Structure 1
Amino acid sequence: DIAHQNKREIYNLLMRASADAVIRIAADPKHLGARVGVTSVLHTWGSAMTHHPHVHMIVPGGGLSEDGTKWIACRKNFFLSVRVLSRLYRRLILDGLSRLHKAGKLRFFGDHAKLADLAVFDAFLQPLRKIDWVVYAKEPFAGPKAVLAYLSRYTHRVAISNSRLIRVDDRGVTFRVKDYRITGPGRHTTMTLKTDEFIRRFLIHVLPKGQHRIRHYGFFGNGNRTANIARIRELLGAETPVPGLAHDNTIEDADAPARVLALPCPCCGGRLIIVDTFAPAQHPRAPPASARAAA
């Protein structure tokens, strides 16, 4: 609820705290002792389009040494302790909330208006310091293609895709949902919401103007990313890709003098198919006039 009423501040805190937790623990010599890189993607929804802010992160299995002279790889199938990550993440979030409140950057409405008082807000946070928080870490990807497939699914998603919509009628909107608390056949079911409630839930996930859903931290930071990646490739003996060439996504044409680059779709990440082109100052062809022609 606090995040719903303070989207910009809480979403920024969520992304910073999650990245800082990983970067700090990874830099500790007792854990990995390396500078790592993080790509973070903000999601704000659950399967039923309820408000559920969380961050998906992709982190390489290792990092640069402090002096940048070597690559430090993590252990096989183990990156960092989720127990240690969870405790640091809890502290960063709760301390960040306290700082935002003291700086007067949080607003409270309705039933939460009383939280505007600092003493009430501190009492509200106190139980959260004593319970376990959970950071979920998945096993490594099965190669670079799996990483790209994951990114294409998550980076440009909206709260619900057309493929989950089943029916729209006088009763409302029916769509597929997944209950993550259930394992087995009953996990996938359907839900029907009245039209105005469906629209309300969808609009919850419209981000504040200028909010960035995808952010890069550590050695992926924009200021030094190019130099860091070049150094990592050198340390790992990896081939440097030639700019402008697509090694996997190319279209072979016997009549063409060179391979044509297949651009990714900006929405889904799949291959972008060009269906028509027109020259500057030329009007595109109008769509078919009849339904039969369109079919």
Structure 2
Amino acid sequence: MEAVNKRNGGAELSTVLDSQKEVFLSQKHLCPDQRKAFNDILHCRTSQMGSHSLCCDSCGRVKVCYNSCRNRHCPKCQYIKQQLWVEKLKCRLLPVRYFHAVFTVPEFLNPLFYINQRFCYNLLFECSAKAVKKTALNPVFLGVESGCLSVLHTWGQSLNYHPHIHMLVPAGGLDSDGMQWLYAGKKFFVPVKALSSVFRGLFMERLLGALEDNLLRIPDGQKELFADIKSLKRESYAKMWNVYIKKTFRGAGQVVSYLGRYTHRVAISNSRILDTDGETVKFRWKDYRDNKTKTMLLACSEFVRRFMQHVLPTGFYKIRYYGILASANSNTKMNECFRLLNITREVSFYHGLSTYEVMEEIFGEEMFRCTCCKNGRMVFAPPGEKGNGP
């Protein structure tokens, strides 16, 4: 593998999927959720997804546009969702510094996670959030009621299976009386080793309980390990679990800018796919061991297999709020936090706008300028009008 310079991608994910559709769709390699994502991405913005018409309000030209699939795993369908979410978040986040924490589990648990995704992902969310809230509340550290915003990622740069939580934690919280906002120091308000130990203890307690109650499927190659609780505990407590605290963000604006790149990201974007010949695919990835950008060449079948590992269960929420940031506290504790910080809460700029108006604000008026007369605007046409092609 060689280091490369960044450039625009030369292929799309849908092209790679199309080369492998007979193998993956006919031989029952995919579960229903994966099959739906595969088909949606494959047919995104094609006639298979249906169409809508735009009509020029000046010359009357009608243009047919194919619909997006809107699948959250599609690299083409996340940008507008991301912009709307980011704008909404600007009005929700407290104007304070933030810490970025990353929670992972030992690699030997990955097979268990993969075949028990909904349960294990929920467990990862709940235990990481509880660890932060519990340690922040400890008077030995900061002694405040805190909260967090958590985002689940299941991939590494090479598309390997690597479930982990990215978390944003405000640098402070409400005191025990709820009457004062207490600020944390420059460093994270809890020692990382202490946070890691609490997270590990909470997670293993819940995991062992689920195993004893036979709530989990056990991977074929690990039945002996998970059948012996003592061996499992030794394996789990052999080393500290990886909890990593990244740089501090100075305010909500910097946080939102950063989060916009993380929250609605899919396992791989089209810009990272450099080339494919139908047999192999070359894509760009960052090797964090030496912090260099490199290229990787994989067989298309292996590339698709890796990508499909990251399709989440239907209805599973990959972005969650806890503690003072939870939706249940929006009109109570969050309002009190804004009052204590002497800041007025704002309403999202996009609130009340139609989809067309939102797109015009995001992409600009030129996107809807008629290419025929150059003066009119393309607006949604009544159903049934024939167009001049997509």
Which structure has the higher relative contact order (CA within 8 Å, separation 6+)? 2
Deviation string 1:207-238 (CA, Å, 9 cap, x unpaired) is 11221100100011121222222111110111
**Residues of 1 paired with 2:230 and 2:209: CA distance?**
11
> Matches of 1:77 and 1:284 in 2, distance apart?
61
How many residues align? The count is 265
1:233-244 equivalences under 5 Å are 233-241=338-346, 243=347
CA distance in 2, matches of 1:47, 1:82: 25
Unaligned regions of 5+ residues in structure 1, if any? Answer: 247-260, 290-295
Say whether 1:278 aligns with 2:380: yes
Matched with 2:309 is: 204
Which amino acid letter does the alignment assign opposite residue 125 of structure 1? K
The within-5 A match list for 1:1-295 is: 1-115=111-225, 117=227, 120-183=228-291, 187-241=292-346, 243=347, 245=349, 263=358, 271-273=362-364, 275=368, 276-278=378-380, 281-283=382-384, 286=387, 288=389
Distance 1:263 1:231 in 2: 31
CA contact (8 A) 2:154 2:163 kept: yes
User: What is the distance in 1 between the residues matched to 2:238 and 2:125?
Assistant: 22
Contact 1:85–1:135 at 8 Å: present in 2 too? yes
Mapped partners of 2:156, 2:387: distance in 1: 40
SS class of match (2:328): coil
| AA partner of residue 190 (structure 2) | L
Percentage of matched positions with identical amino acids: 37
Amino acid paired to 1:144: A
Q: Report what 1:249 is aligned to.
A: none
Cα gap change, 1:237 to 1:210, in 2 (>3 Å):
same
In structure 1, distance between residues paired with 2:170 and 2:344: 17
Q: CA deviation at 1:116?
A: 5.5
Partner secondary structure for residue 176 of structure 1: strand
TM-score by length of 1: 0.82
2:182 counterpart letter in structure 1: I
Once the two structures are TM-superposed, the CA of residue 201 in structure 1 deviates from its matched residue by 0.6
Structure 1 residues 213 and 72: CA distance shift in structure 2, 3 A: same
Q: Is the 8 A contact 2:225 2:231 kept in 1?
A: no
RMSD: 2.5
TM-score scaled to structure 2, two decimals?
0.63
Q: Secondary structure at the match of 2:159?
A: coil
Shift of 1:124: 2.5
CA contact (8 A) 2:181 2:341 kept: yes
Change (3 A) 1:121 1:197: farther
Cα pair distance change 1:32/1:121, threshold 3 Å: same
Closer/same/farther in 2, CA of residues 77 and 262 from structure 1, 3 Å limit:
farther
8 Å Cα contact 1:98-1:122 kept in structure 2: no
Aligned pair in 2 of structure 1 residues 116, 129: CA closer, same or farther (>3 Å)? closer
The residue identity in structure 1 corresponding to 2:185 is: R
- Give unmatched runs, 5+ long, in structure 2: 1-110, 351-355, 369-377
**Cα pair distance change 1:245/1:25, threshold 3 Å:** same
| Residue pair 1:8, 1:208 contacting (<8 A) in 2 also | yes
Distance 1:43 1:31 in 2: 29
Residues 128-183 of structure 1, C-alpha deviation per residue, up to 9 Å, x if partnerless? 21312221112211432211111111111110011100001144111011111224
